[in-house]
Every structure is written in structure tokens, then in C-alpha cells.
Amino acid sequence: MITAGSAPLADVIASLTRKVADFPQAGVQFSDLTPLFADGKAMRAVTDALADVASGADLVAGIDARGFLVAAAVAARLGTGVLAVRKGGKLPPPVYAEQYALEYGSATLEIPADGIELVGRSVVIMDDVLATGGTLAAASRLLERAGANVTGAAVVVELAALGGREAIAPLRVHSLSRS
């Protein structure tokens, strides 16, 4: 069992997750991990646990924007590179782009098509929350189209009732906390 101090990590994550009803739109319950990331001991425990999952990868990809935080911390811990998987329109061309459905609309993810060699690289994708799986699935398709070997994904919190894990199968996903 992974712990943060004397408490199980999943309990620490739950205690430091702020639930916000009807955000970003009515009917959506948003899990805000800002308090978790602001707690030094908790962030260190999350980073250590995610680094264990990503061990062996030569690149960690973080999904815009909170996934950047955990991916950068994990990459620093492992001594690997980090790739920011950006929301559409944030990168200069040329880019690889992937459009996908969210639980409350649609969006586009992008990565640079030049300047970073992804062919054959072993990549683990990181994000803060797994909800319906659309974002992780799009990131995986995007990286694979660029030639990367996506070996798995890891998230801090999984909202199990939304079925995201099933939506991205067979991609291996590790979550530190399920609610």
C-alpha cells in the first residue's frame, strides 16, 4: 500500500481534493486537485507513486494543463524528458492534432510535428483525472500517430463511475485513487 506519511495515499488524495459542483457547466462535478498539488508532502508522495508507474519510459507526456504538473515532476524524478500535450491552438505549426469528445463538449489536443523525435520512444501519459477517457484516448492516438510507443497511462484520480478505463482499453491505466 502506498502511503503519504502514515495515511494511505488514496486517503490523502481524497482529503485534499476539492469537489466543485456544476463546473465547468451544470451537471459536471469537477475534482480540483489544486490543494493536493500545493501540499509538499502529498505532492512528493504522488510524484513518487507515479514515478514507479512510469519507470522504464524514456518520455513522460503530460496533458494540458494539470497533467503538466505531475508529468514534469515525474520526469524530473526519473531523469527523462517531458512532453506537453497541448490544447488546440497553443502550439506553432506544424503540429499533429487529434479532436475528441469530452463529457461536456469537444476539444483538440496537439503536439509538435517538428523538433521532437517520437518514433520508437517509450512514452507514459500522465493526467490529473480520468473521467470518460476521451482525453487520454486522444493523447494516446496522437502520440502513436507520431510514432511513439505508448506503454501506459497514469492518473491521480479516476472517476470510476464514468467508465473512462473501459473507453481507453486496451491502454494500461494506473490510478492512485478511485472514486
Tens digits of residue pLDDT in 5-51: 667 999 999 999 999 999 988 888 899 999 999 999 999 999 999 99
**More confident: 26 or 54:** 54
Give the pLDDT confidence of 74-102 residue by residue, as tens digits: 999 999 999 999 999 999 999 999 999 87
Q: Which residue in the list 77, 103, 141, 178 is annotated as catalytic?
A: 103
pLDDT of res. 25: 84
Average pLDDT, the chain: 94
Is 103 assigned a catalytic role? yes
- Mean predicted confidence (pLDDT) in 98-113: 88
Select which of 66, 86, 121, 165 is catalytic.
66
CA-wise closest residue to 67 among 3, 157, 148: 157
Burial class, 28, CB count within 10 angstroms (exposed 0-12 / middle 13-18 / buried 19+): middle
Pairing of strands 105-112, 81-87: antiparallel
Please say if 144 is a catalytic residue: no
Range of the domain at 154: 3-178
Higher pLDDT, 126 or 105: 126
Q: How many domains does the chain have?
A: 1
Q: What is the DSSP letter of 162?
A: G
Q: Structure pTM? A: 0.93
Evaluate if residue 1 carries a pLDDT over 60.
no
The pLDDT of residue 4 is 60
- pLDDT for residue 104: 66
Residue whose cell numbers read 463546473 = 23
Neighbours of 116 (CB within 10 A): 13
Share of the chain above pLDDT 90, in %: 86
What does the pLDDT read at residue 2?
Answer: 57
Q: How confident is the model at residue 105 (pLDDT cuts 50, 70, 90)?
A: confident
CATH code assigned at 57: 3.40.50.2020
